[in-house]
Amino acid sequence: MKNLQHYDFSKRFDDVPLVGSAFSGEHPGMIPLAFGFPYPKSFPIDALVESATGALKSEGTQALQYSGGPGQQRILEWIRQRSQLRAIQVNTDQIMITSGSNQGIDLVARTLTDPGDSVWVEAPVYFGALRAFYLAENQLSAFPVDGDGLRVDLVESALIEAAAGKRPMPKFIYVLPNYHNPAGIRLSVERRRKLAQLAYAYNVYIVEDDAYVELNFTGEFWPSIYSFGPERVIYLSTFSKIVAPGIRMAWVICQNPDVLSKMKIIKTEGLTSVLMQEIVSDYLEKNDFENHLEPLITGYRMRRDVMVEAIHEFFGDEVSFEKPEGGFFLWLTFPTKTDTTRLLHESVKVGVSFVDGKAFYLHGKPTNDLRLAFSFCDEITIREGIQKLAAVYKKQKYFIR
């Protein structure tokens, strides 16, 4: 075989990190507190088997064609009605099904921006969104969060500067309002309203990524950012956390038909799995969704409580965190000089993984934060994982030299 010459790939891949659940194959038996996966026993397998069989028997001829069957419209209607809990009033022609929320993020970025355009994000921010924005060749600026979510006051100050020509005006601002990945916090209602007002005032879009909204441990629904500014907010949510991620179904809500039509052009594969839409629509039609959701919320709340109790027991006052009121994640902050990258290397050796905090910031600089997931492991495993992590930390005290 001839020696192959070096091949130059697209420059879009420069400095784009591949972050994810990277420990399982190399380390069998790992306690994967890195995994932002649903609890495996939460999947409604028997009901989905029944729905798959029913969908194929009743709509198979259409569902296996490119254009699909009637389940697509039933899915859109379910989303329309469910969205009212977030004070979202929408028509089904303002909803588009995507192959997971990440595809929605990617489509929004490539529809609203050109390479070099400015996009503003939170700090920390979901690393999947960062990857999409890097690949869209956006110029990113980050704004901190606190216990009430994104510091909208700092965003407003920056928008004033942009309007004065002192910095680029963003094309959109990306926000996770409910049970933030990774920080676990919620954006206050006051800040939601203010953010929508700013979007109108400065003619920017807000991209509202609401992947975890249904996993609400308090039972209190807060109005979406979209509800305060539907003409300037694009809303994203997903079935991944409430049915199963493997079905690869999420949705975009957008009032502007020009935005949706352009997103459909960029979505070159056409319709999202029409067979799976048929199956999921059958499942939602035949099963009480609230009864399906209740054990999910109960289970995740219980595992959250076990993780919080274990952190208090094994770390004491060495660390700090906001107790999440929903979702999958807990954001753990160590003393300022702690190097969580070094801590990760050592914790993997004793069989515990987490996601290093630097994955959630621009430029991936070392941090003293890390993300823990309480969603995937059972209670006994969570407690064991926190105990091992604390032992590693206390034994070595990982500080930046």
| Residue 396: per-residue pLDDT | 82
Q: Strand 205-209 and strand 233-238: pairing?
A: parallel
| Residue 114: per-residue pLDDT | 97
- Sketch the domain layout of the chain as residue ranges: 11-43+291-396, 46-286
The arithmetic mean of pLDDT across residues 57-84, rounded, is: 92
Domain covering 11-43+291-396, topology: Aspartate Aminotransferase, domain 1 (3.90.1150)
Using alpha carbons, select from 353, 360, 275 the residue that is nearest to residue 35.
Answer: 353
Mean pLDDT for all residues in the chain: 93
Using a pLDDT cut of 90, give the percent of the chain over it: 86
Residue with tokens 């492991």: 377
Q: Do 374 and 304 meet the contact criterion of CB atoms below 8 Å apart?
A: yes
CATH for 46-286 (1.10.10.60, 3.40.640.10, 3.90.25.10, 3.40.50.300): 3.40.640.10
| Residue 15: per-residue pLDDT | 63
Confidence of residue 364 (pLDDT cuts 50, 70, 90): confident
Confidence of residue 76 (pLDDT cuts 50, 70, 90): very high
341 has pLDDT over 80 = yes
357 has pLDDT over 60 = yes
The arithmetic mean of pLDDT across residues 113-141, rounded, is: 96
Mind listing the pLDDT tens digit for each residue in 12-51?
766 666 555 444 445 668 999 999 999 999 999 999 999 9
Confidence of residue 351 (pLDDT cuts 50, 70, 90): very high
| Residue 21: per-residue pLDDT | 46
311 has pLDDT over 90 = yes
How far is it, in rounded angstroms, from Cα 375 to Cα 241? 10
The arithmetic mean of pLDDT across residues 223-242, rounded, is: 97
Mind listing the pLDDT tens digit for each residue in 281-294?
999 999 999 999 99
Confidence of residue 10 (pLDDT cuts 50, 70, 90): confident
